[in-house]
Structure 1
């Protein structure tokens, strides 16, 4: 029928996201996306109009899933466990796949061919929402007295560290090294429990 997609959109977006994740935005062609999704290039253009819009739809699903996983590990644990769990989720995400796929957000942020305003806004929204989740968790009665810096500053440092460990993963490909670095940061941000 006219106006209805003739393909499984969720499946197509999942496949498209994997291509962007592995190759990067700039190195990915519409032909790559058509081949991966099993959807003709013309149908992708009809549905999404351009590569940027298709990326944004695929990234939206990634952002929603990552934020949901982060929110889950930050809830109902001690602050130490919550922050360790947060880094476990982050590290697991970037070290998945063969070869490891890195971080879609960071990979896109440094891609000189992904400089569109809408892409920058989508990346910023994910990072801002991640920072908000951390700030809320660190502002709790249990966490606040243990912080060595205010919750908002700690949240920003934690999000910034997640970007840095992405680069370290690309160079060393050693998840244990990443976990040890994250543990050092958590120790620096939290005074010992009373």
Structure 2
């Protein structure tokens, strides 16, 4: 029956995710997925219709897990630590593997063969949701008084930086360089903790 799963779907989607993540959407074929998963190409087409639909199904699971991990990273009660944990999670993820796998959303966003509106919508939704989590964390009574710019703008700067460090990782392949850059940005966006003074004379965001 068309669409009926006659294979372990969870395992298949996990394997497909790793292939898309490592090779990129455009360079991945349905035969690559079939080889990696051990599922016949015809069965994949019956279940998912085409590569784009399969990718979107994979990306849905990826996005859900990524948001859960981001929320956990941002849960630290001190904003400095929360943002360091946020970047550390992202850097650890993108530098996993040999060769390193990079960032799935960013690799997809710059892939000229991944320009379908459904894929673009999924990418926007993921980035918007991640930005929302950052904005909510930055809007807390503990964090907001220490911001150099308002929470919404800070969140957008942080999201943009996470995309930029993906490119730097490709060039330098140096996780500690990425962490140092992230730490510099955090220092620029936050005033010192209460009681430490602010030698830079920066005012809290309104």
TM-score, normalisation: structure 1: 0.98
Q: Root-mean-square deviation (CA), in Å? A: 1.0
Aligned to 2:27: 27
CA distance in 1, matches of 2:53, 2:2: 20
Aligned to 2:42: 42
Superposition deviation, residue 4 in structure 1: 3.4
CA distance in 1, matches of 2:163, 2:154: 15
Conserved? CA contact 2:2–2:47, under 8 Å? no
* SS at 1:149 equivalent: coil
Aligned to 1:113: 113
Aligned to 2:161: 161
Aligned to 1:179: 179
Aligned to 2:188: 188
* SS at 2:77 equivalent: coil
Within a 5 Å distance, the mapping from 1:3-18 to structure 2 comes to: 4-18=4-18
* SS at 2:6 equivalent: coil
Aligned to 1:81: 81
List alignment gaps of at least 5 residues for structure 2.
195-206
* SS at 1:97 equivalent: coil
TM-score, normalisation: structure 2: 0.92
Higher helix share: 1
CA distance in 2, matches of 1:80, 1:2: 51
Divergent runs of 4+, >6 A: none
Q: Deviations over 1:110-144 (max 9, x none)?
A: 00000000000011111000000000000000000
List alignment gaps of at least 5 residues for structure 1.
none
